[in-house]
Amino acid sequence: MKYAIIVAGGVGSRSGDSLPKQFHPICGHPMLWWTLKAFYEEDAATKIIVVMHPDYIDYWQKICGDDCPEHTVVAGGKTRTMSVAAGLALIPFKEVAVVAVHDAARPLVSQRVIREGYEMAKEWYVGIPAIPVTESLRKGPAHNSSAVDRSEFHIVQTPQVFDNLLLHMAYEEALKSEGHIFTDDASVVDYFGHPIRLYQGDPANIKVTYPDDFIIAEYRLSKP
């Protein structure tokens, strides 16, 4: 079985929109609609779970449209970790399955990236899309920085795909940790002690965050 947990709890403050960015219209549909469509078109049998702030669940159900791919909505928590855990709670702990966790703000994800993530997780328990850093990097304070080898660094994307049991166990540990901040699901599984395996992501799989990003998304999604 394949699952997709779509994290749609952002407030969109950096997008310049008073409405959370996942609801911002792109080519006549909310951005979240396009994200769900990407997973549905890769495999219509995938069970999709959307996690969002409880204050917006009714609003989403009004605007998603009759043509929106089938999905289940669950209220998220105070943090991203708690929100993903809320979505994961709808998936039976011991079910043989692979689970993708994806940002709602990445509507341009390709079927190739989704498919390869699931395939890698089936074989290696973890599949994380990433692209190499192409610009020079420096670390340290502005007045005394030093160069680092960019070949050792990757830009991590979503969907991040995992074996279901592994992800459940990793999140159990993460929720018990105190003061530890997890920026993504790979960091949760890494904290649990499981190796993180990367595969080739896609530069086009941008996280729509700023006003100009919506222009890019509109242009690309308008193409047949």
% the chain with pLDDT above 90: 92
If you average pLDDT over residues 193-216, what whole number do you get?
A: 97
**Rounded to whole angstroms, how far apart are CA atoms 22 and 31?**
5
What's residue 127's pLDDT? Answer: 98
Instruction: Say whether pTM exceeds 0.85.
Output: yes
What tens digit of pLDDT does each residue of 14-63 get?
Answer: 444 578 999 999 999 999 999 999 999 999 999 999 999 999 999 999 99
Structural domain spans, the chain: 2-221
**Rounded to whole angstroms, how far apart are CA atoms 139 and 145?**
5
Q: Indicate the fold that domain 2-221 takes in CATH.
A: Spore Coat Polysaccharide Biosynthesis Protein SpsA; Chain A (3.90.550)
